[in-house]
Copies of this chain bind each other. A is one copy, B any other.
Amino acid sequence: MSTTEPAPAESGAAAAGTTEPAPAESAAPAASGAAAAGEKKLRPGRTNATKQRLFEASMELIGERGAAGVTVDEIAAAAGVSKGTVYYNFGSKSDLIAQLLRHGVDIMLVRLQDVRGKANDPLESMNNMVGQAMEFMDDYPSFARLWVSEIWRTPGEWSAVFAELRAELLAVIGSAVESVASGYKVNESIARGSLEAAIFGAIFVVGLDRQTYNPERTREQSVAAVMTIMHGYVIK
């Protein structure tokens, strides 16, 4: 058989995450603490570690210079592997980025889930969630940049991926807003969907803006600015 037929990965980013039934933990370098426990008995050994390094390297480079502005050679070099390895683990540059997007969203979702129900008051819960999201922005600024620079490209290469990931994230925000709406009297004339989009967008933009143009501002200030939306939503 001449063709080596290598591709053992080919995950496709469909429903669940990685091959293993343990979708979480994968890549949070400084997760909260309650992550998984066993990680030594990973049979496939190298591959996961390699993918991990490729994710980290890509996240950094692509966040800085954009998906189209980074070459596969650069990513490979930054990850300390050869170009071939990138194509062994991912079918194409485009596929690498698609999986990178899912990877980042998975991390963010885990974090947001972590603060759910930690507070009794829905508004306080919302505040914690925004804080957590803002922290994520600080930890993965490059992911945020990649996100905002590609998500609105009309029929872009990753439209389908973005549509799905966006829906997953908005669902989390939506349920938090829902809690507020059932615990407080709110302005019903505001369309729920637009409100969620505004919150979500404000988180990203305020976070990026602070990092890029006003690093002296505190995370609390940013959270407060975003939470202003919620305070305008509830009727006092």
Segment 118-163 of A: residues with Cβ below 8 Å from B: 144-145, 148-154, 156, 163
**CA–CA, A206 and B170, complex, Å:** 13
A57 at the interface (CB under 8 A from B): no
Count of A residues near B, CB < 8 Å?
Answer: 54
Q: Chain B residues near A64 (CB, 8 Å)?
A: 153-154
**A224 contacts B190, C-beta separation under 8 Å:** yes
A189 at the interface (CB under 8 A from B): yes
**B194 contacts A205, C-beta separation under 8 Å:** no
Among A25-33, A85-93, A107-115, A209-217, the stretch that binds chain B is A209-217
Among A44-52, A73-81, A225-233, the stretch that binds chain B is A225-233
Q: Chain B residues near A227 (CB, 8 Å)?
A: 232
Write the nearest CB–CB distance from A97 to chain B, whole angstroms.
Answer: 13
With A153-B145, A205-B202 known as contacts, the answer to whether A191 contacts B221 (CB < 8 A) is yes
A16 at the interface (CB under 8 A from B): no
List 8 additional contacts besides A198-B202, A229-B229; criterion CB under 8 Å. A145-B153, A190-B221, A194-B210, A194-B217, A197-B210, A198-B226, A229-B232, A231-B232
